[in-house]
Every structure is written in structure tokens, then in C-alpha cells.
Amino acid sequence: MIKPHGSEQLDARFIADSQERETLAKEAETLPALLLNSAAAANAVMLGAGYFNPLRGYMNLADAMSVAETLRTVDGLFWPVPILNLTNEPGIAEGSRIALRDPNVDGNPVMAVMDVESVESVTDEQLDFMAEKIFRTLDPQHPGVATFKSQGNTLVAGPIRVLSLSYFKSDFPDTFRTAVEIRDEIAQRGWNTVVAFQTRNPMHRAHEELCRMAMQDLNADGILIHMLLGKLKPGDIPADVRDASIRKMVDIYFPENTVMITGYGFDMLYAGPREAVLHAVFRQNCGCTHLIVGRDHAGVGDYYGGFDAQTIFDEEVPEGALELQIYRADHTAYSKKLDRVVMMRDAPDHEKDDFVLLSGTAVREMLGKGIAPPPEFSRPEVAQILMDYYQSIDG
């Protein structure tokens, strides 16, 4: 199986041994506490689940600035996005041991114990520098920029041991999986070539066929449909609805033992190209050999060019930095001429009207009125789940 990123073995920061976990949990109740923001809590989940291997905790300012500028830590580890614990809470001492509390669960239980290696003030100019590098904009209307700039100006760095993976296991017991669990299941299935499909949306016909195209082109053993289960921007479809619609599609339209439906506990960054590279890093940690990177991958609005998330792998990712390879996808749509879904680049003789193209706004309006999109766009069984959802919120 493909090696994890940056190490021979996966170092998940979650304490798997129940007795050791219980001992540390008791100690945590006696420690000074820091209530995390949601972004820092999501980072703790990803560290705990092994997705951010080989990182052992939160980055200090030097590493954060270096990663933002060069996609490498000070020691030279390839990494695309700073992994931070920003706060405005005073009184955290360097060299101390603290309990990190979960902002997303009632009662704010302890989710990790941290050995604080450094506590540093971050200037607004340094935050702007990092934000501009990560998001390619400082527009406060960009949801990722707004979140990043609102977390605080104190950077608390150091390794963590994770006691809880937050609400993800309880809210999504059939879907949330750690990188360790995914690697184990890939091994059990006997898969070697595994293609990851990233999604924060329900899957329409174009997405479904894109997975098939990638499997066929790469002679892959299986597809990992890997959905984000954390926080999104207002208006995005909730994870449970996406989960139900994707499961319905796979159950009906894919052969058995060709698809794993899983999810990961992270808040969406909307960082476009940089987030695409982060997706590649942690899919390698999952055991995937390829990641589908399509048009406007991890984008939002018009902040990124349609294929910037592909070109970053040519222009900024050094050769050999990742073992995982990307599968480059064009915009995919149903061709009325050919009576099947194609990548637009493979149909140079087509005009725009030769494709079934619907905007997200148009689809949402149809679903809200109980009108199913055409079957060339969305499977009827998937459309029904989405119609039920939109009518429930509109009603």
C-alpha cells in the first residue's frame, strides 16, 4: 500500500488504548483549559484521526509563515496549509500542559491534551500575509478569509494527544472514518489502486460518471467517496442529506465492492488550490493512490480560476513531494448528441446547447418547488431526497 505522507507509519494522535486514554482524561480535568475555536478543533480531529500525518500538533509561527510562503515547514516537510491553534485567551504559559476543550459539543468536553511549546503574538500583518497566500485574496467576503482572520492573534503551538474525535463518531457513525480505519479497510478489500473523490455536495450524474471514468482510466480497484462532515458556509447542504443521497446513488448504480463511502471531520476552508493540495496529502495518508481534481476544486465564488487547483500541482508542488497522483478532470456534463456524460474537453464538436447544463441556483429552485431535475442531470432517487430536504426548509 502507498506510504503515508512524510513517514513510514501513520502517527494518529488519538490515543487508541482505552486505559491510557482514561488516565490522560483524568489528568486533563486538573489542567488549565483552553476552549478551542471550531477551526482549531477541526485540526485536532484531523491530527487525531491520522489525516495530518506526520504532524504531531499545532504549528508555531515560523512554521506557519514558512508553510504559507513556501509550502514547507522550517525543517523542510512539504505541507500546503498552516495547521494552527489561534486564540485570544490570555494566560497560557509556554512549557505548560493544558486541556483543549471542544467548542462544538455541549458542555465543552476535553478533546485533547497539549504540551505548549510556544505562545506567540501574531500581528495583523502576519495574519494578512498568511491569508493572502492560503486564499489568494484578503476579501473579507471570502468565507475562508473571514474565518481565518477572526480566530485571534495568539498562536499556541505544540504536540497534542487526542482523547475525542468530537461529534463526528456519534453524529455520523456509519460514515465518519479515521485515516487508520480507511487504510485498514482498503487492505481488507485487497485494493491497490484507489481513487479518492472529494465532495462537500450531493453527487449528480456528472460526479457519478466522473468516478467511473477515473476508475476505468486508471484501472483502479475502487473509489473512496470521501465527504466533508464539518462546518460549511450558509446555504450548503447538510452532511446527513448529502450522505443519504450519495448512499442511495451508490447502492443502485455502482457494483458491489467498488466504492467506499466515508467522511472526515474538518471544516471547509474554501482555499481552492491550497486546499486541493491538502486534500491530496491526507488522501495519501488514507491509502489512496489518486485524487480526482476537477474544475474549481475546493473553490468558492470567482476567487480562483477554473483549473488553478490542477496547475498548482505543476507550479508549486515539488516533484516527489507526494506519492499520490492527481487525476485531472474537466467540467463534466451530459451530452445530448452522444446520450451520455462526457468531459467537455473530449467533445470539441459540441456547442453549449448540446449539453444538459443547470446552474446550482436553478437546481435549488427546482428542488424547492418539488420539480426533479432531468434524469440526465440527477438520478431520480437522489433528486427525491434533495426535494424532500429543500421542501422541508422552504416549508
* CA atoms of 278 and 379, how far apart (whole Å): 31
Q: Which amino acid is at 348?
A: P
Distances (CA, A) of 286 to 17, 48, 51, 176, 268: 21, 13, 7, 13, 18
CATH 3.40.50.620 placement within the chain: 173-394
Catalytic residue among 56, 72, 97, 200: 200
Query: Looking at domain 18-169, does it have CATH number 3.10.400.10?
Result: yes
Query: pLDDT tens digits, residue range 117-170?
Result: 999 999 999 999 999 999 999 999 999 999 999 999 999 999 999 999 999 999
Active-site residue flag, 201? yes
Which pLDDT score, from 0 to 100, does residue 395 have? Answer: 58
Which option is the CATH number for 173-394: 3.30.420.40, 3.40.50.10470, 3.40.50.620, 3.10.20.30?
A: 3.40.50.620
**What single-letter amino acid sits at 114?**
M
pLDDT tens-place string over residues 345-358: 888 899 888 898 88
Can you give the length of the chain in residues? 395
Q: Is 108 a catalytic residue?
A: no
Q: Which pLDDT does position 15 carry in this prediction? A: 97
Question: What per-residue confidence (pLDDT) applies to 33?
Answer: 97
DSSP character at residue 250: H
Cell of 41: 478543533
Identify which of 363, 361, 330 has the alpha carbon closest to the alpha carbon of residue 209.
330
In the beta sheet, which residues pair with residue 199? 227
Contact (CB, 8 A) for 221 and 192: yes
Residue numbers in the chain where pLDDT is lower than 70: 394-395
Q: What is the pLDDT of residue 394?
A: 66
Nearest one of 137, 159, 161, 284 to 224, comparing CA atoms: 284
Residue matched to cell numbers 497522483 = 325
Are 34 and 99 within 8 A, CB to CB?
A: yes
Q: Residues 83-100: pLDDT tens digits?
A: 999 999 988 999 999 999
Q: Is the dihedral of CA 8, 12, 13, 17 positive or negative?
A: negative
**Which part of the chain is CATH 3.10.400.10?**
18-169
The residues, ordered by sequence, that sit 6+ positions from 209 with a Cβ below 8 Å of its Cβ are 332, 340, 341
Residue closest to 43 by CA, chosen among 360, 265, 219, 198 = 265
Phi, psi (rounded to 5 degrees) for 206: -60, -40
Strands (E), the chain: 33-35, 57-58, 86-87, 97-101, 110-115, 118-121, 154-162, 194-199, 222-228, 259-264, 290-293, 325-328, 332-335, 340-343, 355-356
Which residue among 108, 153, 192, 201 is the active-site one?
Answer: 201
Contact 28, 110 (CB under 8 A): yes
56-90 pLDDT, tens digit each: 999 999 999 999 999 999 999 999 999 999 999 98
pLDDT score at 365: 85
CA separation, residue 211 to residues 204, 252, 392 (Å) = 11, 15, 30
